Structure 1
Amino acid sequence: MDLGNNDCEPRKSGSFSRISSTNSSFRRHSFNRLGSGIHEADNDSDHQSVSEAGDIGDRALHSKRHSGIIESGGPVFPFDNLVIPIEEHSRKESQPSSPDAILHDKGNNEECENEKELPWFMTYISSRIHLAVLGILGVLTRYLLERLFGPQVVGATSDNSYMYIDLPPNMIGSFLMGWLGTVYKKDISKFSPELAVGLTTGYLGSLTTFSGWNQKMLELSVNGHWVFSFLGFFLGLFLVAYSFIFGVETAKGAKWVFTKTNLNKKCGFEVKNNIITQTILILLMLTLLGLLLGISVALFKKDLESDSNTSHLWLGCIVGPIGVWTRFYLAKFNGKGLGKTKMMKWMPFGTLIANVSASCIMAAFATLKEAVEGKHFGIVSTGMQFGLCGCLSTVSTFIAEFGAMREGVDTWQAYVYALVTMIGSFGLGTLIYSVPVWAKGWP
């Protein structure tokens, strides 16, 4: 779905500058295969693309409105092997450099003329509704996976082990990020960019949680299990990283099969993107949002009165969208760098701020639960941790950015990013949670 009115008009100078940048990206990858060096300007462009591997906030929607091309809607992975030769690319100037770009040119003026767009404010509302609905669904999925793999059913994870309780959701969410956020994101965006952003930023971002991961490691360390805490971070990073890579590779394999067999056309599966389908999708999401929030509020009141252990889940569903929206806005800082000189453009500061701040808030709630007595306060604190902090932080985007950096020019940036995120979250969490627990002698 196009978000601007100029998609079918002749390209303005801003678009040609993007096309020039795209050509540079293709030349860079081609020269890399020949063992050639990379210029400093190319390094800078590569850093920005890598830093935007996950979420880029409103730029995911505004970029299309202005130029018809989004700079980056997903990770730019050199191992995708989707590089088009320079000669061929010169005949396809409107094709974006990233195989995972959220939006791209139609390349068909007749089709563009037949399409109508929703007003900008409807697009704005639609994107927020998608984020809220899919964020709540991510919270529910995370809870179900925690229960399934936890001590109550399978017993694969535990609060007292480095196989922490949020590991299965983080692994599955990272795997799906390879599918929905990397290989198929552009295809989903042809139908609805709001849906593509909602699935990655909303659903997968809420299904995975960095703050929950960090808090479990804090709870292990505060009880003296430092080895388990270290293993939890080390093995956790390893497992989610390879879950993501496995997701990318299987999705690429499935896409190759679909392309070779022409299965989509044989099944006659083709959804037209027009104002009718856009309106239907908005109404559907709005209805789902009303139902999910209404059911969550009703069940929260009921469970709170009956002291049910699912009270925190329903409160988490209620406050979850706030965390998703906040992370969506913070994503604007990804790829921007620091100061006027835009230092460290390769660092996704939006995701970094979201994960570290969510970890600090979760640690603060954990400390308050130790200090303040009260049944209802504990339920509310746990619900805020599970919903607000869980949705504000994300592993799926974090690991997509980490993977893009590992496959980029400067591999060390991936490990710097991971260490800054983990050490920063764990260090601040220790000051907020562990130090008070040790000082007060809380059990």
Structure 2
Amino acid sequence: MDHGYNESEPRRSGSFSSSMRRNSFVLLRGGSHNEIDDENERRSVSEAGDIGCRELNSKRHSGNTSSRENVVVPIHGHSFDELPGSPASPGVILHDKDHNEEYRKELPMFLMTISSLIHLAAFGILGVLSRYLLEKLFGPQVAGVTNADSILYTDLFPNMVGSFLMGWFGPVFKGDISKFSPELAVGLTTGYLGSLTTFSGWNQNMLELSVNNHWVYSVFGFLLGLFLVAYSFIIGVTTATCFKQAIYKTNVCSKSGLSQVNNLGSQSILLLVMIALFGLLWGGSVALLKKDFNGDVSTSRLWFGCVVGPVGVWIRFYLAQLNGKGLGKKEIMKWMPFGTLIANVSACCIMAAFATMKKSVSFRYLIVNGKHFDVVASGIQFGLCGCLSTVSTFIAEYRAMEESEHPWRAYVYALTTIIISFALGTLIYSVPVWTKGWS
């Protein structure tokens, strides 16, 4: 069976030597081979999703292709380090003379930080716009496939499309894009795909169903949603892998992937382009919000969401540093992506709180203009909460766990995220609706 690589070809020395160093370190500490397996699995899961600015910093130090460590994300019993041009790992930092000379040619650290935030913000706004268009396209106004009163919830297709694209630009092509620009790779995955998909919108739709006593719909909405986004991710990985293999077989490009052009000149040009794009998107959203603020609530919600969306992306980006670190000094449960978990649960709670305020008659009586509050609240729900929560990263981490030696962890992670989000949402939103008798 062809797995996309030559089995007679020796494995890359960078990946092998760095793995040996990690495993030897664990053994020197008195650790067992089980601990080595747990450490490798923990790294696989954290690298399948986001690890925030640690990812950018380590990729900046990762040197050339031969010294890169490969991400190990098992799919169908095989690892992505068996594929050509596999993603660069944000793990072990290797220092050598060539790397140090290249590193001095890069942007100063504060400009690198600004560049990463600009990439995340610009791609985050694009993700919000894409989610809005997909909602309208498949919603009651056009195709009529999804609606708020069905298990085919409003954000289903954005979540499926984002998960499919995560299969392409996450485990398969992220490393190649990183050779050109780590900020661009993180902007595409964490920024765009993370904002295109939303866990908080999914959870709120299921809460709305439960409030109306459609508990069966609510349960099956979670099950069907998880099934569809998981297989969207798998199809994305499979098609991207086939495409990559076809490129190499036709000699369109070499197995080294994109050339290493990550230098001062290209970084400066890319930064200027992204600043211009962000200024256009954010400034245009502000202008359109002012124009529509007293008019159409739907479009006003969109523009306000674009204005506040980057904040949600930035928070999720920094929370991602908690992934793979565990709890406390002993780093308990390092396999659990706590950063993604906290981001999704927090967004669900914020969305439920604003949904409660929009329902509350007494609260609406206190505010000056109820219509303006609806625009602000809906914009925060759609933009801030939508960008703070993510399904694409969640499902990438879920699949990495499911294909590991401990598949039960995937189900624990998924159930933990869903149960905590739904339970807190019920306390914040459903209970007040029931007790107050709000329609």
CA contact (8 A) 1:303 1:309 kept: no
Shift of 1:67: 5.8
Shift of 1:70: 7.7
Q: Does 1:59 align with 2:44?
A: no
In structure 2, what is the equivalent of residue 330 of structure 1?
319
CA contact (8 A) 1:149 1:168 kept: yes
Q: Does 1:422 align with 2:411?
A: no
Alpha-carbon distance change, 62 to 82 in structure 1, aligned in 2, over 3 angstroms: closer
Q: Does 1:22 align with 2:19?
A: yes
Q: Does 1:49 align with 2:26?
A: no
In structure 1, what is the equivalent of residue 89 of structure 2?
101
Aligned structure 1 segments of 4 or more residues deviating by more than 4 angstroms: 16-21, 24-27, 65-78, 80-85, 102-115, 268-271
Shift of 1:160: 0.5
Distance 1:269 1:124 in 2: 23
Alpha-carbon distance change, 135 to 234 in structure 1, aligned in 2, over 3 angstroms: same
Shift of 1:112: 8.1
In structure 2, what is the equivalent of residue 297 of structure 1?
286
Distance 1:251 1:403 in 2: 16
Given candidates 355, 380, 385, the residue that maps to 2:381 is: 385
Alpha-carbon displacement from aligned partner over 1:331-386 (angstroms, at most 9, x marks no partner) = 01000001111110000000000000100000000000001331111111000000
Q: Does 1:160 align with 2:149?
A: yes
CA contact (8 A) 2:50 2:317 kept: yes
Over the residues paired in the alignment, what is the CA RMSD in angstroms?
Answer: 3.1
Give the counterpart letter for 2:20 in structure 1. Answer: N
Shift of 1:246: 0.5
Alpha-carbon distance change, 158 to 217 in structure 1, aligned in 2, over 3 angstroms: same
Given candidates 212, 215, 220, the residue that maps to 1:223 is: 212
Give the 3-state SS of the residue equivalent to 2:149 in structure 1: coil
Distance 1:413 1:155 in 2: 36
Alignment of 1:326-365 (within 5 A): 326-365=315-354
> Aligned residue pairs: how many?
407
CA contact (8 A) 1:103 1:190 kept: no
Alpha-carbon displacement from aligned partner over 1:378-422 (angstroms, at most 9, x marks no partner) = 111000000000000000000000000000010000000000000
Alpha-carbon distance change, 428 to 342 in structure 1, aligned in 2, over 3 angstroms: same
Give the 3-state SS of the residue equivalent to 2:248 in structure 1: helix
In structure 1, what is the equivalent of residue 246 of structure 2?
257
Give the 3-state SS of the residue equivalent to 1:151 in structure 2: coil
Give the counterpart letter for 1:144 in structure 2. Answer: L
Percent identity of equivalent pairs: 62
Distance 1:429 1:114 in 2: 49
Alpha-carbon distance change, 112 to 38 in structure 1, aligned in 2, over 3 angstroms: closer
Alignment of 1:394-413 (within 5 A): 394-413=390-409
Structure 2 length as normaliser, TM-score?
0.85
Give the counterpart letter for 2:279 in structure 1. Answer: G
Alpha-carbon distance change, 379 to 107 in structure 1, aligned in 2, over 3 angstroms: same
Structure 1 length as normaliser, TM-score?
0.85
Distance 2:220 2:159 in 1: 16
CA contact (8 A) 2:197 2:386 kept: yes
Which blocks of at least 5 consecutive residues in structure 1 are unaligned?
A: 1-15, 28-36, 86-94
Shift of 1:103: 8.7
Alpha-carbon displacement from aligned partner over 1:290-335 (angstroms, at most 9, x marks no partner) = 1111110111111112244210000000000000000000001000
